[in-house]
Amino acid sequence: MDLWNVSERQPTAATAFEMGARQREISVSEFFLRNRHLLGFDTPSKALITAVKEAVENALDACEEAGILPEIAVQIHNRYGGKWRVVVEDNGPGIVEGQIARIFGKLLYGSKFHKLSQSRGQQGMGISAAGMYGQLTVGKPLHIISRIEGNELANELYVSIDTAKNRPDIHKKKQLKWDRAHGTRVSIEMEGLYQKGPHSIEVYLKQSAIANPHATVVFQAPNGEEIRFERSIDELPPRPREIKPHPYGIELGRLIQMLSETPSRTLMQFLVDEFSSVGKKTGSEIIARAGKQLTARSHPKHIARAQASALHQAIQHTRISAPRTDCIVPIGEQRLLDGLRKELQADFHTVATRPAAVYRGNPFQVEVAIAYGRPEDAGFELDDSGHMHRKNTASEHLIARRNEPVRLLRFANRVPLLYQQSSCAITKAVVQTNWRAYGLQQTKGAIPIAPMGILVHVASVWVPYTSESKEAVAPYPEILKEIRLGLQQCGRKLAHYLRRRMQLQREYERRIYIEKYLPHIGIALQEILELTDEERDSAVSRLDDVLHKSRKT
């Protein structure tokens, strides 16, 4: 058999030239249009939630960046058949006219990718992807109104994506009067399915309220019901600052590229200016360790591959302080506790905040909170018109019932993650933790069983999501480790609470027991010692006191 003999080609076989002629560029919009599940638009119910989520996250980011306390209105209208209109309106700073079309009509376009600081959006895809999905399923462009403070009129645009070119198509554009002083309103028509339950717009908004206690969100459900998530804090979280990458975790190839692109004229200046946590002292240590061919005055552009490789090694072996953490803004222990207490009532709450850490040069920080014990069924309440409503239905999905696996509330940069739980670093860390040590039921490799909710927040200048739909955090070892440590901290406090609760329980039972039998002992003593009734009662009372004291010590 001669492998190199191609005389037996099948009739339809192609030559290298025919194959070459078929090669073409693929537009990023075409790619994601065909792979819309990568962006979170795989099923109609998920698509509806994803669209709301993308619009709300954009609104929150814009408000915070402009220093405005967010007030967001979300509306869902059923149009016909499975077709819906999603409207999200914010009090943000508005969008300058020239940018509107590209922000809503082009994938991979945005302001957050090229800087290292914490934000909800990262990749400039979410809202234009939602628009593209609407375009695909209903065939109508996005409708946008946006007004900048001080401008007399708002801009109104209808925008779709030219998917073959990943470019916005503007269908109509005009200026109009709008009663908002500033803000943006986006309206998308799309195929969808409105559902209640653990994967619902309500649960998403409720989780979002826990992580964003400074935002007010008003949701108008399809049945006309208005659900308000009021802010509990009238203060914005501190603004995250932009930082440079940390030298740990910078890959050799990236270092070489940075050396060739830097405006710095000396190696020392390069190290100090292009990285965080490197001062002159650390810079000197790195350079000394990198070998004799490099000095503080070496010109970055003239550093050869071998020297760059030595420099890369030297960085890994030099002690460099942890990155500045003001590029990350955790929710904060008190705010987390307040948020949890407000949105889900439980018997016991605890929070742990880990110090900032680094993966691949990116600072990140983990917060963990636990809510244990579920009050009895929240029950029903009457509204003003005398109708009975089940109370707090969304909470039901946040704390597990007895004998159910613990509910996970996963967050990344204050955004609730609702899907792909099994592939998330947070789930993996929960599963890897030995909860039996803290008094819970758990089969190996599974989520523990308890009436409990575990909240984990991963905040980072760049969250590594497992897909563009941003539904799960990729399990980088450094991130897994920090989550595990946070879970352990909370687990120890939970164990303490459970032990104490069990002690109280036992003591209560013992007390009941003694109270039941003490009169009988009294009667027995009376018979044996021939006591009067008074003597008997006094003995019983003293006995009770003594036993009571002995239990207390």
CA distance 307 to 300: 11
Write down the H helix ranges in 164-266. 201-211, 252-261
Tell me the closest approach of the beta carbon of residue 281 to a copy of itself, in angstroms.
27
3-class state of residue 257 by DSSP: helix
Site for a copy of itself, residues 492 to 551, rule: CB under 8 A: none
Do the Cβ atoms of 452 and 369 come closer than 8 Å?
no
With CA atoms as reference, report the closest residue to 232 among 207, 260, 251, 213. Answer: 213
Stretch that binds a copy of itself, among 7-15, 46-54, 347-355, 538-546 (CB under 8 A): 7-15
Taking the CA atoms of 378, 338, 346 and 397 in sequence, report the sign of the dihedral they define.
Answer: positive
Tell me the closest approach of the beta carbon of residue 305 to a copy of itself, in angstroms.
6
What does the per-residue mask of binding to a copy of itself show for 463-482, with x meaning CB under 8 A?
-xxxxx-----x-xx-----
Site for a copy of itself, residues 231 to 270, rule: CB under 8 A: 234, 236, 239, 241, 251-257
Asked if 444 touches a copy of itself (CB under 8 A), the answer is no
CA distance 396 to 439: 23
Binds a copy of itself (CB under 8 A): choice among 40, 105, 121, 124? 124
User: Among residues 184 and 350, whose Cβ is nearest to a copy of itself?
Assistant: 184
Number of residues that bind a copy of itself (CB under 8 A): 95
Tell me the closest approach of the beta carbon of residue 41 to a copy of itself, in angstroms.
11
Tell me the closest approach of the beta carbon of residue 91 to a copy of itself, in angstroms.
6
Distances (CA, A) of 233 to 90, 212, 229, 316: 18, 9, 12, 43
CA distance 132 to 98: 20
Site for a copy of itself, residues 290 to 329, rule: CB under 8 A: 305, 308
User: Among residues 433 and 469, whose Cβ is nearest to a copy of itself?
Assistant: 469
User: Among residues 232 and 392, whose Cβ is nearest to a copy of itself?
Assistant: 232
With CA atoms as reference, report the closest residue to 170 among 141, 148, 134. Answer: 141
User: Among residues 200 and 427, whose Cβ is nearest to a copy of itself?
Assistant: 427
Burial 492-527 (b: 16+ CB within 10 A, else e): ebbeebbeeeeeeeeeeeeeeeeeeebeeebeebbe
Do the Cβ atoms of 116 and 242 come closer than 8 Å?
yes
Binds a copy of itself (CB under 8 A): choice among 78, 295, 334, 422? 422
End-to-end, the C-alpha distance of the chain in Å comes to 90
User: Among residues 122 and 395, whose Cβ is nearest to a copy of itself?
Assistant: 122
Site for a copy of itself, residues 193 to 222, rule: CB under 8 A: 216
User: Among residues 124 and 491, whose Cβ is nearest to a copy of itself?
Assistant: 124
CA-CA-CA-CA dihedral for 358, 360, 362, 365, to nearest 10: -40
CA distance 132 to 276: 38
- Name the residue type at position 369: A
User: Among residues 311 and 454, whose Cβ is nearest to a copy of itself?
Assistant: 311
Stretch that binds a copy of itself, among 52-60, 68-76, 194-202, 501-509 (CB under 8 A): 68-76
CA distance 469 to 49: 11
User: Among residues 114 and 387, whose Cβ is nearest to a copy of itself?
Assistant: 114
**Two tokens, residue 228:** 């308000």
Tell me the closest approach of the beta carbon of residue 551 to a copy of itself, in angstroms.
43
Site for a copy of itself, residues 79 to 98, rule: CB under 8 A: 91, 93-96, 98
User: Among residues 14 and 437, whose Cβ is nearest to a copy of itself?
Assistant: 14
With CA atoms as reference, report the closest residue to 53 among 164, 139, 105, 129. Answer: 129
Do the Cβ atoms of 149 and 107 come closer than 8 Å?
no
Tell me the closest approach of the beta carbon of residue 442 to a copy of itself, in angstroms.
14
3-class state of residue 447 by DSSP: coil
* Cα 381–Cα 204–Cα 115 angle in degrees, nearest 5: 150
Binds a copy of itself (CB under 8 A): choice among 45, 75, 111, 432? 111
Tell me the closest approach of the beta carbon of residue 92 to a copy of itself, in angstroms.
8
Tell me the closest approach of the beta carbon of residue 474 to a copy of itself, in angstroms.
5
Do the Cβ atoms of 246 and 323 come closer than 8 Å?
yes
Tell me the closest approach of the beta carbon of residue 116 to a copy of itself, in angstroms.
10
User: Among residues 34 and 280, whose Cβ is nearest to a copy of itself?
Assistant: 34
Site for a copy of itself, residues 135 to 154, rule: CB under 8 A: 135-140, 148-149
3-class state of residue 373 by DSSP: coil
**Two tokens, residue 31:** 């790619």
Burial 530-549 (b: 16+ CB within 10 A, else e): ebeeeebeebbeeeeeeeee
Tell me the closest approach of the beta carbon of residue 407 to a copy of itself, in angstroms.
16
Tell me the closest approach of the beta carbon of residue 473 to a copy of itself, in angstroms.
10
Site for a copy of itself, residues 341 to 400, rule: CB under 8 A: none
Binds a copy of itself (CB under 8 A): choice among 104, 109, 158, 372? 109
Stretch that binds a copy of itself, among 5-13, 264-272, 389-397, 497-505 (CB under 8 A): 5-13
Binds a copy of itself (CB under 8 A): choice among 87, 108, 498, 539? 108
Do the Cβ atoms of 349 and 341 come closer than 8 Å?
yes
What does the per-residue mask of binding to a copy of itself show for 20-49, with x meaning CB under 8 A?
x-xxxxxxx-xx--xx-xx---xx------
User: Among residues 95 and 201, whose Cβ is nearest to a copy of itself?
Assistant: 95
User: Among residues 58 and 298, whose Cβ is nearest to a copy of itself?
Assistant: 58
Binds a copy of itself (CB under 8 A): choice among 53, 182, 407, 457? 182
3-class state of residue 83 by DSSP: strand
- Name the residue type at position 267: L
